[in-house]
Structure 1
Amino acid sequence: ELHFMKKIPSGAEASNVLVGELDFLHQPIVAFVRLTPAVLFSGMTEVPIPTRFLFVLLGPAGKAHQYHEIGRSMATIMTDEVFHDVAYKAKSRADLVAGIDEFLDQVTVLPPGEWDPSIRIEPPKNVPSQEKRKVPGALDDNASHSKPEKHSGPELERTGRLFGGLILDVKRKAPWFWSDFRDGLSLQCLASFLFLYCACMSPVITFGGLLGEATSGHISAMESLLGASMTGVVYSLFAGQPLTILGSTGPVLVFEKILYKFCKEYALSYLSLRACIGLWTAAFCVLLVATDASCLVCYITRFTEEAFASLICIIFIYEALEKLSHLRETYPVHMHSRLDLLTLYYCCCSGDTNLQQQQQRQGHGSWTEIPKPPWFSGVFLLPLCPPALFPQECHSLHGEFRGSACGRDGPYAPNVLFWCCILFFSTFVLSSLLKKFKTSRYFPTRV
């Protein structure tokens, strides 16, 4: 005891942690006591020094191990220099809770599976200063005013030489170039091959079909598949980024639509102009690599990415609404308000002598009377239209379609526009609900 007293500085005070269980208690009772002045309890401490703080925890029987661990945790907190000051100056429970939170923010926790309790860590030779933690609001100011971490790395450093960044990239990737191929021969990579195949093939075919519709078949699924296979092989061999997935995306589709529309309006060759754009793009890429322009990636923030993504979304939304509005021209709305014409839809090709002769030869040049409903006093007379006469044949015979169900290009099904509007907005509402469904209470964070 005397040997231990020699190592304790003068004026030291003790903190006692007391835990236990009682049969008559139904819930735990916790008390943190600060004595003023410090009191010497004989027999409570290992050495006779006055006690300043008392932590008492009493609870129902059957949880002694948990109470013991809580006592150990409280004893660990009392060894912290900063919490000492908080405990000496605390005026309420909130001050103690704030001190515990500050301790937990700075503490280092070792997981039980990664640490052997039989091993003892030697104390550091130089104990780091805790003065920064004692400054009020120092940690909060540093956290709030800290600048966002920028992209860093040797790949984004400017060399100042022509093709300097490319040369350094080749030097960094050369030692692992052949090992990438050797590692790919392992059977463990088979699942990755299948995943990459599906991940690359699906968008290429999908956007290839959309490109075929947007460019009138100039670039379709076959061309997209051939281009994706060639660029994928070349990029994976020489770019040093084997995990990057290449393929058509939404911005490419929007660009191709705008370019094809531009070529169509000004009578330009679409494929020739597209080849020129590809060559100019390659030239600009070589220029950017030569001047180490990749270092500008450090200045690209999330705001830039979201602004570009928002532009693409706006273009797609505008095109969807534009296509919906064009349906009115192909499928006009039946605007008859008379009750006897609400369900009367017919469309016949007529208007030329050759057409009438063609109809008479087919036996469809007369009119017929159809049954009338009991509430109608007139007579329905409809022309018998030739069933085999398609819109192309009608136009070739210099005829025109006449009737309540005739549109710009021939017969149409009524009320298609309203049905498309219902499908359009229903799909939008359904997709929004499904997107929010994953964050609803049906998918909690804990099961």
Structure 2
Amino acid sequence: MLGVCSVMGLPWFVAATVLSITHVNSLKVESDCSAPGEQPKLLGIREQRVTGLLIFVLMGCSVFFTSVLKFIPMPVLYGVFLYTGVSSLRGIQFFDRLKLFWMPAKHQPDFIYLRHVPLRKVHFFTAIQLTCLVLLWTIKVSRAAIIFPMMVLALVFVRKAMDFCFSKRELSFLDDLMPERKKKLDDARNEAGEEEEESRRAMEAAAAASSVQLNVGKTSDVDIPKQSSDRTDPSEIVILDEMSQMTVWKALTLKTETL
């Protein structure tokens, strides 16, 4: 595989997970955003292979530096390894979900699974993963470490049993290999498609309503029955004739004649 990656121009892979994750994280360029509940946005990647080459060259040269490296205290080495391990936890979904246990709702980041999965089920899924991790670590450090590969295989059945506790849609957000950024883009496209569909339906309903109004307006006078009325056309009413028929005007006229 190293030969295939070299021919295809792909980056080399290595079994040192912490080293690889730390190196990849160091190449990221993110926005300086400190607003509560908002995640930094990925601006780009520092595309270079110098650091990767120097790392493995120094690792190879360390074989010849044993006489010097033996003076480095072991607590210092353990501290370096601990720092690289903790710094590589950022961005791992399991670690992000662990922090949700002590994080207020207003400070929770905008994770895609928090939009579609209830928080209690997110905590339940995280608790199952944490229990399995503690169980595996306990077996690994005990005398029963020989059955550790079998316990790793048993995780497949634990994952299969989760189908009875979670729906397929919830598991697709909680246990998906797709990156968080990719899932957010897909979710935004789906929401845009739903909004476009709703607007199209609203426009069709408005067009249908206007068509009905036009049909009503074009109805001929023959179809509409006319109500019989003895009143004359308002345009033909004479104001003086109308005033002379008013009760107040008649009373005023009678009083004037009496005087």
Question: TM-score w.r.t. structure 2 length?
Answer: 0.33
Instruction: Return the structure number with greater relative CO, CA threshold 8 A, min gap 6.
Output: 2
Name whichever structure is richer in helix by fraction.
2
Name whichever structure is richer in strand by fraction.
1
